[in-house]
């Protein structure tokens, strides 16, 4: 895992050990938090959390997971939403990996979830099998949770992000 300034200068390796197939990263840049989260679907599939300088690495999800590739954060609730491309689910945990729960897990409704994004009450994901971007109200459970809707149909999408001022909080670095 490496960082640099936007122009490519001042490159720094955060860490390189015990990392085989990293795919997604998400950052909570707020003062007092400053965490970086990442997915690795290699030899030991997992979701990790570390400080912004790469220190204090912690595996927060490492069981019942095969190919975690989608990752997004709820900065307000301090939760991590992720997809498993092979096991066909969307789940959420808190920043410490606790209170894990399924949001959607049904091969009839979910095939190869790839990228995931969050905005307000809705989770958006790209389903690589149907080539569709779908959305779901993340607070509706049971039968209502299966009422997700297609937003866009397009092939070739690999990642998507929601841009909003809440994800770029003001403050000193």
Whole-model pTM: value is: 0.86
The per-residue pLDDT for range 64-123, each reduced to its tens digit, is: 999 999 999 999 999 999 999 999 999 999 999 999 999 888 766 678 888 899 999 999
Which residues 6+ apart lie within 8 Å of 167 measured at CB? 75
The per-residue pLDDT for range 146-155, each reduced to its tens digit, is: 566 666 666 6
Residue 120 lies in a domain: yes
Given a contact cutoff of 8 angstroms between Cβ atoms, the answer to whether 15 and 9 are in contact is no
Residue 172 lies in a domain: no
Given a contact cutoff of 8 angstroms between Cβ atoms, the answer to whether 25 and 40 are in contact is no
Residue 38 lies in a domain: yes
CATH number at residue 137: 2.120.10.30
The per-residue pLDDT for range 83-99, each reduced to its tens digit, is: 999 999 999 999 999 99
**Cα separations (Å) of 134 from 6, 26, 127, 140?**
31, 20, 7, 15
Residue 173 lies in a domain: no
Given a contact cutoff of 8 angstroms between Cβ atoms, the answer to whether 90 and 80 are in contact is no
Domain hosting residue 106, numbered range: 2-163
Distance CA 167, CA 2 (A): 21
The total number of structural domains in the chain stands at 1
């Amino acid at each position: 895992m490496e960082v640099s300034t936007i122009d490519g200068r001042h490159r720094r390796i955060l860490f390189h050990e015990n990392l085989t197939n990293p795919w997604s990263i998400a950052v909570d840049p707020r003062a007092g938090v400053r965490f970086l989260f990442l997915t690795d679907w290699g030899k030991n599939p997992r979701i990790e959390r570390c400080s912004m300088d790469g220190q204090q690495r912690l595996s927060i999800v490492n069981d019942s997971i095969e190919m975690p590739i989608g990752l997004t954060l709820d900065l307000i609730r301090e939760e991590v939403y992720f997809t498993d491309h092979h096991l066909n689910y969307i789940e959420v945990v808190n920043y410490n990996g606790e209170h894990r729960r399924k949001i959607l897990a049904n091969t009839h409704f979910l095939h190869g979830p790839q990228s995931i994004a969050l905005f307000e009450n809705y989770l958006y994901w790209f389903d690589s099998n149907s080539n569709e971007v779908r959305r779901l109200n993340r607070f509706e459970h049971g039968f209502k949770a299966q009422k997700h809707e297609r937003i866009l149909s397009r092939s070739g999408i690999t990642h998507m992000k929601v841009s909003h001022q809440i994800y770029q909080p003001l403050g000193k670095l």
